[in-house]
Amino acid sequence: MDIPVHFKPGNYAYVAKKDKVEYLNSQSGLSFPNAREWSPEDDDWKLPEDWKDIILKGLKERLDKFRSLKIFMDCCVRCGACADKCHFFLGTGDPKNMPVLRAELLRSVYRNDFTLGGKILGKMAGAREMTVGVLKEWFMYSYQCTECRRCSVFCPYGIDTAEVTMMLRELLHLVGIGINWILEPVSNSNRTGNHMGLQPHTFKDNVEFLVDDVENLTGIKPNISFNRKGAEVLFITPSADVFAEPGLYTAMGYLILFEAIGLDYTWSTYASEGGNFGLFTSNEAMKKLNAKMYAEAERLGVKYILGGECGHMWRVIHQYMDTMNGPADFLEKPVSPITGTVFENAASTKMVHISEFTADLIKHGKLKLDKSRNSHVKATFHDSCNPARAMGLIDEPRYILDHVVDWVEMPENTIREQTFCCGSGTGLNTDEIMELRMRSGLPRANAVKYVHEKHGVNMLSCVCAIDRATLTTLNNFWTPEVGVCGVTELVANAIVQEGETRGELEEGLRTMVF
């Protein structure tokens, strides 16, 4: 705990741009003060004069507001059950990346200022004074955690270190310390509705380009609409699905699936982002970005929302939405217009996951599928941390894969609730920390390498847009023989549509047709 952190190029993410912080601080309900030009490599971080009081006051407010935080500060017995469960510790070997010690960075300050034992016994009780050095530790290690919550699965007391990391980041933002790869997407999403800052007409054009691609491949042009009032369903997916590979093929899969069943749905060019980087900044930012989807659903008068393949989108909806913006009583309890299934699990959030929706269609025989169309794929499945651990979406994607592709599981201690993270979530999928990303992703890559060598796996499927981006980079480094795809891409490959003029697509939706 006495070893100071050392910042050098490559071991930290670039700090937030001044104009992005100023913009967010100007927004109602948000507080992102102390916008400035600074660098972690500098000795002087240009903190406010009363920065220490701001931090301690902020910690007190959060201890009073979040009962779970107070419990997590008090109940840890330092047993170390979490230590070798963290992919950052396994990949870096840095003791402060053990979840127990990462939480201790905050817990030591808590003891010093908020417990009698810490005030009397000081360092003997594990207490530390809040100093600039401690603040720098917070910045270093709160951004070497993807909040995947794997450690909490193995903690005998159920301590959620992800919640501790969230609090560390919130406290850092109080004095103007944040990273650009998170705050710029938050800024863009608040301003235009999506992480990339795409204007409505650009988002619309991108989807229409994908419609043309689907028509070229299948001979059938999907019917789509934007901002259409009175549609039965509002469909929202991560914006990455409509502008970057390999998410583009997942978005094409959505178009084919919805056309095959004749779904009455619409896209929104204003709520054009399912992802919520507010989860990685502050509760207030998370709430604000989540609210836009429901505001748009109310404006368009839809019955409910169908959501695409995304990780943190679903953690926010499943764990936080109701206490932040819900219940969404202006929407109806979701019912599949194709099968009549009532999604009781979405009775309050009024939002259904595409995997739940698709698995239900397959169960009721509403899709004509030809598994041989995925004969070029030998797949495995990556349980994305947030859908798997946060909302229990574990069996539905597997049920889908059983019906559309030949696939195998990775080792049992690397899947389902115990799944390893991609190593680059929570806004850490930025190139300036590439070595850290490759190290932290090693446990997942090792499991992929195992099934590739043992079973000939050549495709890693998942239901998360960030995973599709980060796992592609990870596999390119560790297991370049294995590609990455969304589950809905594999579904669309296998769908047989009435009236199609599809030829032999040797690579499914990825086949180049001229």
CB 251 within 8 A of CB 238: no
Percent of the chain with pLDDT over 90: 95
pLDDT at 350 over 80: yes
Averaged pLDDT, 13-28: 97
pLDDT category, 514, cuts 50, 70, 90? low
Report the pLDDT value the prediction gives residue 323, as an integer from 0 to 100: 87
Residues 41-53 pLDDT 10s: 999 999 999 999 9
Report the pLDDT value the prediction gives residue 2, as an integer from 0 to 100: 85
Residues 480-500 pLDDT 10s: 999 999 999 999 999 999 999
Report the pLDDT value the prediction gives residue 390, as an integer from 0 to 100: 86
Averaged pLDDT, 328-333: 95
Residue 387 DSSP label: I
CB atoms within 10 A of CB 398: 17
pLDDT category, 1, cuts 50, 70, 90? confident
Residues 230-280 pLDDT 10s: 999 999 999 999 998 999 999 999 999 999 999 999 999 999 999 999 999
Q: What is the dihedral of CA 255, 258, 264, 268, to 10 degrees?
A: -30
User: From CA 430, how far away is CA 434, in angstroms rounded?
Assistant: 7
User: From CA 306, how far away is CA 235, in angstroms rounded?
Assistant: 5
Residues 224-240 pLDDT 10s: 999 999 999 999 999 99
At 376 the three-state DSSP class reads coil
Q: Which is nearest to 155 in space by CA: 103, 96, 231?
A: 103
Averaged pLDDT, 349-355: 96
Report the pLDDT value the prediction gives residue 333, as an integer from 0 to 100: 96
Cis peptide before 397 (omega within 30 of 0): no
* Structure token pair of residue 27: 């927004």
User: From CA 447, how far away is CA 452, in angstroms rounded?
Assistant: 9
Residues 380-430 pLDDT 10s: 999 999 999 988 999 999 999 999 999 999 999 999 999 999 999 999 999
Cis peptide before 327 (omega within 30 of 0): yes
**What is the CA 35 to chain-centroid distance, rounded?**
26
At 306 the three-state DSSP class reads strand
At 164 the three-state DSSP class reads helix
Report the pLDDT value the prediction gives residue 8, as an integer from 0 to 100: 96
Q: Which residues have a Cβ under 8 Å from the Cβ of 248 and sit 6 or more positions away?
A: 210, 241, 242
* Structure token pair of residue 236: 């929202």
